Each structure stands twice: as structure tokens, then as C-alpha cells.
Amino acid sequence: MPTAAARPIAQESSVEDALLRSIRIPPRPSLLVDLQRELAEEDPSPRRIARIIGNDVGMSGALLKLANSPFFGATRKAKSVEQAINFLGINQCAALLTGLLARQAIDGKDGALNQFWDTSARRAQALVFISRRLRIAPPDISHTFGLFCDIGVPLLLDRFADYADTLAIASSDGQRSFTAIEDDRHATNHAAIGCLLARNWGLSPDVSWAILHHHDYAVLDDESTDDAIRSLVAASVLAERGIVRYHGNGASLEWDKGGEPACRHLGLEVDEAEDLLDELHETFHNEH
């Protein structure tokens, strides 16, 4: 456990505990509880997992649609949840389902969060791509981290009437860290809230702590923090740069803040990072 991981625990026992209680953290879905219980078995059964997922028709259909999407490049199309599990693997299907459950638990009824979820899905794809290329994390861990990286944002939008203003300010500040601006205005930030949700939902500790630190670029040079966590944070900086580029924007403030330490931690020269981002850009375009 990284030494920095003690921070949110200490915060929870402080005066900020009341604030955290006022923010609606969705409880862990029962379907996820059942799935995680099976995954914790010594020999998880794809058939039993398919049966668990099959109890929710909507989730089954959404999972199949994702499993057969161009991103996974499947030469065979899964016709059932059990086939999808056999084609993609238990852990990857579990990661996809966890993301679907998060959207179901948090999504607004008016579709106001569609862009948020689209960006989260794009980030998850980018992190899987980068992690595979650099061999820094299992695909399911990278995917889950990408989906849950900013999960605190909609929760804070729901809690604070002026949080949209905070997002605009933090997104345009080239000096201060994103989360420092949130802390100044709300005494908490989306990374801390996202970490709390990830822990409550029983996600991997690597995912939880990477969420906590994904705007804390000083952690990239902190050898007391687990390498797996730092690698995910570093990969998220590259992913952010790739998404910004995909949307036609030349500048990325987060890349300006964290690009150098991210590349240093990943052992990438500037031209190697650019080549990787070019590949990612091409992968995004080839989906269509």
C-alpha cells in the first residue's frame, strides 16, 4: 500500500467527513457484489458468471454490444454472454460490466451526461491501448481506471450548484493542479470522491489509488508510491493528450503540467511518446 494512500483515510476522519456524507455515493450494485463474489472463487466459472449477468436483460444486451464493438477487434461475434466471456476473458467482461453498472447508477435521465460517458469510454480505450503497448497493466485494470477516472465529476455536479464553473476554471488554469482548484472552492475534489466510490465498490486498490492521484503529477517521481499506480497515472496523461488531439485541439494543459514526468516514468523519449500518440490517433479513426 503506498504511503500516500493514507491521505483520504485521514480526511474521512476529519471535519470533511460531514461534507463527504453530503455527497451521494451510489451503493455498490447487487449485481456487482454477486459478480465479485464469483470472481473471488479459486476457479471462477464463465457459466455461473453468465448466469449472474443474464439475470439483468438490459445489462446482458449492453455487454454483448460492447463485446462485439470494433474496439475489441473480434473476428467472431459473440451471440451470448457466455460466448462473450469466452472470447474476451472473465476479467475484461467484468470490467465492461462494472462500467455499465456505473453509468446506470449515475446517469442523468435527460442524457445530460452522454458526453461525459463518451469521453470516459474513449479514455478507457486509450488506456488499454497504451498499457498494452508499454506492458504496464492488465487490460481490465486499465479499462476500469479509464472509465472511473473522472467518476467524481457527475457526483460533484449533483452536489454543488456552481461546480460547472469550477470545472471551467480548472480546465483553463495552466499553473495550479486541477484538484487544488476544486479543493479551494469545495473542500474536496473529483479524484478523492472517485477514489471513495471505487473503494466502496470493491474495485482494485491500484484503480482506487490511481484515481486519487491522477492529477497529482508529483507522485510520478515518488518512489514510495507503488509503481503500478504511478504507471496508470502516467498513462492517463498520455491518454488525455490523445483524446485532446483526437478532438482537434493542439494544446493540452494537463499534458503541459504532467507530460514530462509521465514520459520520464514510462521511459519514453519525446519522439517515442509522439509516435505512440500517432498510433492511438489512428486507432481511434479506424473504429469507424
Q: How far apart are CA 167 and CA 7, in angstroms?
A: 23
Return the CATH architecture of domain 112-287. Orthogonal Bundle (1.10)
Q: How far apart are CA 123 and CA 126, in angstroms?
A: 5
Closest C-alpha to 25, from 168, 192, 143, 180? 192
Q: Where in the chain is the domain with CATH 1.10.3210.10?
A: 112-287
Q: What local confidence, expressed as pLDDT, does residue 71 receive?
A: 76
Contacts within 8 Å (CB) and 24+ apart, 35-41? 35/94, 35/97, 36/94, 36/202, 39/90, 39/91, 39/94
Q: Is 5 exposed, middle or buried (0-12, 13-18, 19+ CB in 10 A)?
A: middle
Q: What local confidence, expressed as pLDDT, does residue 3 receive?
A: 44
pLDDT tens by residue, the chain, 288 residues: 444 444 444 444 565 567 667 888 999 999 999 999 999 999 999 999 999 999 999 999 999 988 888 777 566 789 999 999 988 899 999 999 999 999 999 986 556 788 999 999 999 999 999 999 999 999 999 999 999 999 999 999 999 999 999 999 999 999 999 999 999 999 999 999 999 999 999 999 999 999 999 999 999 999 999 999 999 999 999 999 999 988 887 778 999 999 999 999 999 998 999 999 999 998 887 765
